[in-house]
Structure 1
């Protein structure tokens, strides 16, 4: 055991906490079990922060980072997360000590439970694992909803609480991240991406340090497989081929197997968009829809991308529907509205046009009593609805389209209203005003961010349009991935809550398609497309431009196999996402970069043809940038010219 001896911590810390025993060393310091003498000797956990630095200035920086992370933990409030008590600072003869104090959760970890079962030749059953998922997914949904990602889900970080038999999520990787940040900023070099347990964390987290909510879902699925099979993750995963082969060790219901497969997808965008989405599938009474095996190239939408797979804006591929495309979305929405399955079922499926206040006849109402129903609204509300209706009609947007999108946003903001319809009663007046306000916001977006041509096609877009745009852009040496990158960037700027979700089949997905339509036209016209050419005898070129929030540009370079290329993007930190796509993606090398926060890349080219560089904005402010590209002209050697080496 490393760290300071227990002997130096025998007295009450902070005049309050009595240390009982050492619980071991974590990734950022020593952990102790203690009694809180100010709270009837309640058990608690003290985690001491022990950065391996001695310089006072460095130590101060370390403490600032630790305190900032502690501030995040202090805001968490969920019964299945240990409560953060305080950040304790203690002055001792050997110097200041810093502790994070949390509630103690009594009970075995799921790793302990698994090892006990393995000794008798047993593992967890499918029913038990599904129950665990249904009990822990709401915790992840809460965490992700407040912007916190656990980063380190594994059986030894899940405790089966003795008091109520519920799983409790412990040992947040956010605090571990502080240790890494400290080492990066003030200590000796370390690998900054090793956040999470080997085998449990997805590759983008372990190798690139990229952490999203889907990384927690991936780790939870690995945890499920470990509990089901009793095998370590490394025994279930073929890293060379990036495939899981757990099916030979355990037989599961195809419905549950399909859920695990999607949670374990290699690309973050191919996984479920949220913990709530997984819960919804697990809870559905209908059979789970088992996804067809995705083609290998589905990991990198671009040239050669299978035409039957549609990349969702930041979400998993969606299988394209066959048959008629134009008008099918509107027909589906109309049917869902008729069945009362979409949104508030507002006045389209009830009695009123939500954007106009006019009566829509149905079995319970006729046009003859519209004035009586309208009288339920104040004159101000009637005027507001009339203005919305007039504005919608001026923009050429169908009422059902506006209703579907507005309902989706309304439910996101007011989840407590899910499944409820608003009435014309006075007590719903405030909610009706909120709904009308959201409808106005949607109309703002449709008017400001979509062309008239795109607005006219809302409700008729489908995957066939994306296929058609892709085929047309190939003539300009632009692949599907570039179009998706540009569309995704703008959609994420407008609708950050859905930036990583499955949206193409939802009402709001029609706006995604409209944005993609406009960006397709821009690429086709050359407005967002530029080919970088090198003058005879030169190998370096620099381009400069300005990006507004949600915008992007595509650059083409016609290069040869064997050449050595270097990219350097000069832009504000974290403000861009950079992609570098191959002329012909392969299963072994689908892309060189894709929507990455990196600002540089270098390497020897493995193909000849047009390479695509896509730069998109990921920030909320406009900024200037410079893209420097250097390519040697000696195709037989990857060695850069001498001048480039000197730089």
Structure 2
């Protein structure tokens, strides 16, 4: 582990380092606890640009955010989520950290060391992984680095997860290259992928195609079957794969693997769907869904879908309430998507109870009046429905009487969320589903111009968010519907700050060292107080308010947290620096209340 980054170190007042997971050419990877999400484990990937300096680091972040935007939109249950990117300076050295979900389990390299894989197991594995590739390829993303090391068998359900996208390394390489050119240096060439697993066009020419991933996947399957590395299976003279002397397979299956491994990319299967069709012809896929949480609907079925090419947040369409979605959109004729909608072909949706039809008509009208995108809203409600009723994950609700209780539960969540979203401003609400990282950065910049920190902004946004959604975890991941809601709330908070209604500068009268401020907070509100104080002054903060009604935070000008989200109503300490200090008071009460805040220095 780097001497500068060690267990117990807290980055950004947010991520506590647990241990190093590994390191490579671009930096190290760490296991960390997300202190803003009940110490949930996550992965921090470090990138330390060779070109150093504040400008280089800022430029690195800009380039990363520009290039990595599509990765934030990948939302698949078998891909760790990309959460955020942030920069940090440690001992005068600049770093960028990429935050991802942590997956508990073993990679297939470890599993291979303990066991051999049968043809049936490898066939099932293909049926489990190919849909993931189909999904990422639909976004124009190519993994580039499939191997046993970059596949993890998730401990919770045994499903394979794809990790360590080579696209991240490509972005890192592009950032290094651009920074080197700007610094007058010659960028060094970067080779992505593993020798033997990546095809020739990728390793030698740097060219990649969707079927470059198919090559690497087939190579990985043969390694699992034979327990031999690719270099032991490839004839160095002819470059043909000679795997048949190590394992015996169904001849048709062997032909499929051979075609996936063709030397020329034009001789391979052109798409994942072609491979799945070929495999299904010799061995139908398992009857139980391989991907229980998310059969992805054919996007062409939906009017005005979220398009990554258009720069919008593409959310995954779940089939949980397709019948509700159809009613919301007023569409009754297009059932038949490739991921399971055929089951609806013979259902008569017009037999839904009249009361349910009226309810859906009312829902459609409410969404129209509030300016909320129907696609986004259904995903938001689905997300909460699965959270409350995990036993329903993976099945589609029908119009049968046996599902009436579940339809009722879904509708209750929809009504509840509509009431909450109605409290947002029209300006913020209409963008739900389309907020991007750039929007969040713009809001931070607006707040910084007011001499306020992003921590204070987040405190006020969280107060409103948890007032509306007390059972939710704070999630600023814009690829998830609830992250979009948090962003909309943050947008409203910034508008209030710019209007001067949610912050106040504290000036001490001549020769006075104490100031008492009074204010009335409504549920979900907060207020920021800024006071210019000097190093080594002793500051005392006293808050008089109803019991258990507030959270108190104190931040230095350098964004150091002296007190954060504390239910305490008193704090005293010697100040570490001179500058503007921010004292934040937020409500966690369900009723309006008055408070008195006293700041005293000596």
- Among residues 574, 588, 598, which one is paired with 2:548 in the alignment? 574
Indicate conservation of the 8 Å contact 2:313/2:434, yes or no.
Answer: no
Give the whole-Å Cα distance in 1 for the aligned partners of 2:312 and 2:544.
46
Report 1:188-337 matches (<5 A). 261-263=31-33, 267-269=35-37, 271-272=39-40, 295-296=87-88, 328=308, 334=314, 336-337=316-317
Give the whole-Å Cα distance in 2 for the aligned partners of 1:288 and 1:245.
19
Alignment correspondent of 1:386: 361
Alignment correspondent of 2:499: 525
Change (3 A) 1:287 1:491: closer
Alignment correspondent of 1:608: 578
1:596 aligned onto 2:566 = yes
Indicate conservation of the 8 Å contact 1:329/1:460, yes or no.
Answer: no
Indicate conservation of the 8 Å contact 2:81/2:100, yes or no.
Answer: no
Give the whole-Å Cα distance in 2 for the aligned partners of 1:428 and 1:527.
48
Report 1:84-95 matches (<5 A). none
Alignment correspondent of 2:588: 618
Change (3 A) 1:243 1:529: closer
Q: Per-residue deviation at 1:560?
A: 2.4
Indicate conservation of the 8 Å contact 2:435/2:478, yes or no.
Answer: no
Change (3 A) 1:455 1:237: closer
Alignment correspondent of 2:294: none
- 1:382-433 CA-partner distances (Å, limit 9, x unpaired): 1111011011111111101110111111112211101111112232223222
Indicate conservation of the 8 Å contact 1:352/1:360, yes or no.
Answer: no
Change (3 A) 1:328 1:548: farther
Change (3 A) 1:433 1:306: farther
Give the whole-Å Cα distance in 2 for the aligned partners of 1:486 and 1:463.
19
Alignment correspondent of 1:23: none
Indicate the SS of the match to 2:430: helix
1:452 aligned onto 2:426 = yes
Q: Per-residue deviation at 1:360?
A: 5.4
- 1:448-505 CA-partner distances (Å, limit 9, x unpaired): x200001111111122212111111112111101110111111112222223456543
1:557 aligned onto 2:531 = yes
Indicate the SS of the match to 2:40: coil
Report 1:357-376 matches (<5 A). 358-359=331-332, 361-363=334-336, 373-376=348-351
Q: Per-residue deviation at 1:574?
A: 2.4
TM-score if structure 2 supplies the norm length?
0.51
Alignment correspondent of 2:471: 497
- 1:149-195 CA-partner distances (Å, limit 9, x unpaired): xxxxxxxxxxxxxxxxxxxxxxxxxxxxxxxxxxxxxxxxxxxxxxx
1:416 aligned onto 2:184 = no
Report 1:17-166 matches (<5 A). none
Q: Per-residue deviation at 1:532?
A: 1.1
Give the whole-Å Cα distance in 2 for the aligned partners of 1:564 and 1:412.
47
Q: Per-residue deviation at 1:600?
A: 1.5
Alignment correspondent of 1:355: 328
Indicate conservation of the 8 Å contact 1:357/1:385, yes or no.
Answer: no
Give the whole-Å Cα distance in 1 for the aligned partners of 2:570 and 2:309.
41
Q: Per-residue deviation at 1:306?
A: 8.9
Alignment correspondent of 1:538: 512
Q: Per-residue deviation at 1:370?
A: 11
Alignment correspondent of 1:425: 400
Change (3 A) 1:401 1:297: farther
Give the whole-Å Cα distance in 1 for the aligned partners of 2:461 and 2:494.
9
1:464 aligned onto 2:427 = no
Give the whole-Å Cα distance in 2 for the aligned partners of 1:467 and 1:540.
36
Indicate conservation of the 8 Å contact 1:404/1:508, yes or no.
Answer: no
Change (3 A) 1:270 1:446: same
Change (3 A) 1:272 1:566: same
Q: Per-residue deviation at 1:345?
A: 3.9
Alignment correspondent of 1:547: 521
User: Which ranges in structure 2 are unaligned for 5 or more consecutive residues?
Assistant: 1-5, 43-75, 102-167, 176-305
- 1:41-95 CA-partner distances (Å, limit 9, x unpaired): xxxxxxxxxxxxxxxxxxxxxxxxxxxxxxxxxxxxxxxxxxxxxxxxxxxxxxx
Indicate conservation of the 8 Å contact 1:544/1:625, yes or no.
Answer: yes
Structure 1 residues 501-510 or 538-547, which shifts more? 501-510
- 1:255-279 CA-partner distances (Å, limit 9, x unpaired): xx96x8124x5x35484279xxxxx
Indicate conservation of the 8 Å contact 1:551/1:616, yes or no.
Answer: yes
Indicate conservation of the 8 Å contact 2:315/2:479, yes or no.
Answer: no
Indicate the SS of the match to 2:417: helix
Alignment correspondent of 2:481: 507
TM-score if structure 1 supplies the norm length?
0.48
Indicate conservation of the 8 Å contact 1:564/1:604, yes or no.
Answer: yes
Indicate the SS of the match to 2:471: helix
1:434 aligned onto 2:409 = yes
User: Which ranges in structure 1 are unaligned for 5 or more consecutive residues?
Assistant: 1-235, 275-283, 299-304, 313-318, 632-639, 641-647
Alignment correspondent of 1:477: 451
Indicate the SS of the match to 1:583: coil
